[in-house]
Structure 1
């Protein structure tokens, strides 16, 4: 057995020894299933699936089941662009409007000059506004045919190439460019038979913009990958658990540059914290013997309690702030004054306010049946649609960006 094989076996043994911890993480976070894959020098050295891909039918999870990849798909998008550049069908620094009808009515300079590289590095300066396309229950609330029109009306948060601002819309635009230049909607499917589809890798993985400007070590973004020098308090900024400033892996180990996004560990639910994230950090810690070791089973257990209390905190804030405003402004509400359709033609968004009962209103977003919310009076002329219970908050997959 050569040295490389010895190393692969040693890494595999470390991960296998970690399995009881991974099981505890899954239990703490109430993750229905977690699937893991680890590669070393292009070879799969470890796979593991535990739990159910469908809880109701008790169908077991395995490596052949489909999982939601989330932002790991950005790597596929960048890979497709790299192939097209290699084939001479695309240029990294050529304006997007050379390929699709991309424009910005708010900032014409962005429309005229933004490139595929700007789009993939989150450097266009356009606001992300994810809640204009993603509704509750993970439903899309707009049509693909409206994409370019909506993007043209996104407000800028800063000038082109003047700073990092995460924007999923621009990856959708990149997808249109891939379709246009390749002539097919599923480009990687059409070339899966090639030994390697990875092209332009130095461009794809190199630093393009700073995610933060205050980090001592690297905390940057390339094309589709975040780059971080560990140890780092900013690691996992792009994950649901958020940055972990108390639980920093590898505090006393030598610095290592990592490329990351969602992936390596996949899950099919988000119950009480991001189980796949904790699992991935635990695996990285074991693989590279990062010191001092963090007990991720205990960390995930602590975070699960915080996650369970999330709805109660939001509901308490909603009630407290509403009472504060109502105490300052005695406002008589006439529901009839609010009934009607509120339209933003640029963002292709319609909020339809209707009577639910004679004394209550509902709001339907973009005429999508799943996007129906019961409104409650907050204060003054403000209404909210806070779910009535934690069960509804979780079951309908409400997105809360702030707690």
Structure 2
């Protein structure tokens, strides 16, 4: 058995970190209510040579959901809102035309436990560089326009937009931003002084991690600070920034409050037990132990193949995921995972032993997730799980498979292309196309010198068109003809995708725009598959259930630009 004083556990952390090329890792372990391990390595800011430590601030992304659910629980305890009242009582604009029942009956509990059945189409609100298309003012109405894929309350379907709506409920009932309420109800009382909900609140000492994309040669590309912040679209889904030390304090407060509630005492976090109990099965299979979801908390009985089931490694290793503790006693873990804007996070709590594990990193999810496997390595060590799983080997395999995704995409792009189809006049497609429900407008335009490029013999498929979404400078791409009336913006390479902010667009449906013609043979619409069958967590049949988003051609751009 290793010990946390032994160099062996740190060596495994280093090997996992290096497998993914992650600039920095910060992690910590709580056991029997006491911090027994802290470790950081690498650079929080590569350009300035700033090393990471346990007080470095990272975006924790979806690990924010537990904070937001706990805020709702406190407000429910105070009588400010109700878990059981329809969300439309607070937000009348939450009207769901795809299924009126959802808008009429969905409660805050349904939103926070991902049970509405509405499709997760993150790319309908978020574009290249993880930049949101809107400022958050319309997010309730936009989220309500998502299509239905599962019957209401029939199964778990992870949906960031619904947590954004939950944040809007808090704003509505309190008359102040979700982040402000979170600070008043949780961060300040618990002394989480280095935890915040936007870059405007970063500590003055500058000990803040920069998010990075990792390129094929191992170099890193710095990214802008994530746009998920207090008041933004999907803020309630992932706007919290925190540190290892603060997250360990948060874990202790959560578990102490659970015990206080069990004793009938008034806890620091009233109602926290309700958010951490099982509300929805994660998967519907026999013989797996518990794998369910509360409100901002996954619940797993270890051993389980569903750890980090919303993380990037779950897709890369779906045929052979690591399963720790196969020969060890069952153990309940309450956890969450996060990925966004060049940051990754894994967070586990073990109520039976007042234990917690937190791992934070500053690399983009497209190359795989070191926090997932480092957290599992720390779980193995903490509870002496048997047999030992060589998680650094899984890290190398995950990173290898991530590297293969680009060549697989190119092969699929080539295999699905119909060769020899005639390109129609590029000017036919020029115009503005809108989707009123999602508040989106796509302007398609001829590139400069496109006529000369079309006549040139040097490139038999030049970029002739460009498009821009909602007039945003960084939401632009150049188009080449694919076949018939379909055009493509497939990047030149995986590194090119990273440099263009398209790392989350490496699936064929995402890189194709299909124009539609009417009876008069004039282009009248375009369709873009912004869901592409891709989602976080298990979702059977989703790829066939969600249709491409349709944009109608219009003569003028609407006021939401």
TM-score by length of 2: 0.66
TM-superposed deviation, 1:265: 0.7
Q: Which runs of 4+ in 1 moved over 4 A?
A: none
Distance 1:331 1:284 in 2: 58
Q: Any idea what SS the aligned residue of 2:42 has?
A: strand
Matched, 1:61 2:59: no
Distance 2:373 2:424 in 1: 47
Greater Cα offset, 258-267 or 81-90: 258-267
Q: Any idea what SS the aligned residue of 2:443 has?
A: strand
TM-superposed deviation, 1:397: 4.5
Specify the alignment match of 1:351 in structure 2.
442
TM-superposed deviation, 1:300: 1.0
Q: Deviations over 1:245-297 (max 9, x none)?
A: 34211122222221221231111113632111111111111111111111112
Distance 2:64 2:502 in 1: 21
Distance 1:375 1:215 in 2: 47
Q: Deviations over 1:171-215 (max 9, x none)?
A: 011111112223332212123343554221221111111221125
1:1-400 matched pairs, under 5 angstroms = 12-13=4-5, 17-101=8-92, 102-185=94-177, 186-191=180-185, 192-194=187-189, 197-217=268-288, 218-242=290-314, 244=317, 245-262=320-337, 263=346, 264-270=358-364, 272-322=367-417, 325-326=418-419, 330-357=421-448, 358=450, 359=454, 360-395=464-499, 396-399=501-504, 400=506
Q: Quick check: 2:282–2:292 contact (8 Å CA) kept in 1?
A: yes
Distance 1:12 1:177 in 2: 43
Cα root mean square deviation, aligned: 2.0
Distance 1:124 1:48 in 2: 40
Distance 1:193 1:391 in 2: 42
Q: Quick check: 1:353–1:363 contact (8 Å CA) kept in 2?
A: yes
Structure 1 residues 60 and 215: alpha-carbon distance in aligned structure 2, compared to 1, 3 A threshold: farther
Q: Quick check: 1:28–1:272 contact (8 Å CA) kept in 2?
A: no
Q: Any idea what SS the aligned residue of 1:241 has?
A: helix
Q: Any idea what SS the aligned residue of 1:242 has?
A: helix
Q: Quick check: 2:443–2:468 contact (8 Å CA) kept in 1?
A: yes
Distance 1:354 1:161 in 2: 43
TM-superposed deviation, 1:63: 2.4
Structure 1 residues 11 and 199: alpha-carbon distance in aligned structure 2, compared to 1, 3 A threshold: farther
Q: Any idea what SS the aligned residue of 1:310 has?
A: helix
Q: Quick check: 1:326–1:380 contact (8 Å CA) kept in 2?
A: no
Distance 1:266 1:397 in 2: 23
Structure 1 residues 174 and 32: alpha-carbon distance in aligned structure 2, compared to 1, 3 A threshold: same
Greater Cα offset, 71-80 or 358-367: 358-367
Q: Deviations over 1:106-142 (max 9, x none)?
A: 2221111100000000001111111112222121112
Distance 1:148 1:26 in 2: 39
Q: Quick check: 2:481–2:487 contact (8 Å CA) kept in 1?
A: yes
Distance 1:109 1:272 in 2: 40
Distance 1:348 1:338 in 2: 21
Q: Any idea what SS the aligned residue of 1:145 has?
A: coil
Q: Quick check: 2:299–2:333 contact (8 Å CA) kept in 1?
A: yes
Q: Any idea what SS the aligned residue of 1:312 has?
A: helix
Greater Cα offset, 86-95 or 181-190: 181-190
Greater Cα offset, 340-349 or 97-106: 97-106
Distance 1:226 1:215 in 2: 18
- Count the aligned residue pairs: 389
Distance 2:31 2:174 in 1: 31
Q: Quick check: 2:140–2:168 contact (8 Å CA) kept in 1?
A: no
Q: Any idea what SS the aligned residue of 2:312 has?
A: coil
Q: Any idea what SS the aligned residue of 1:184 has?
A: coil
Distance 1:246 1:69 in 2: 23
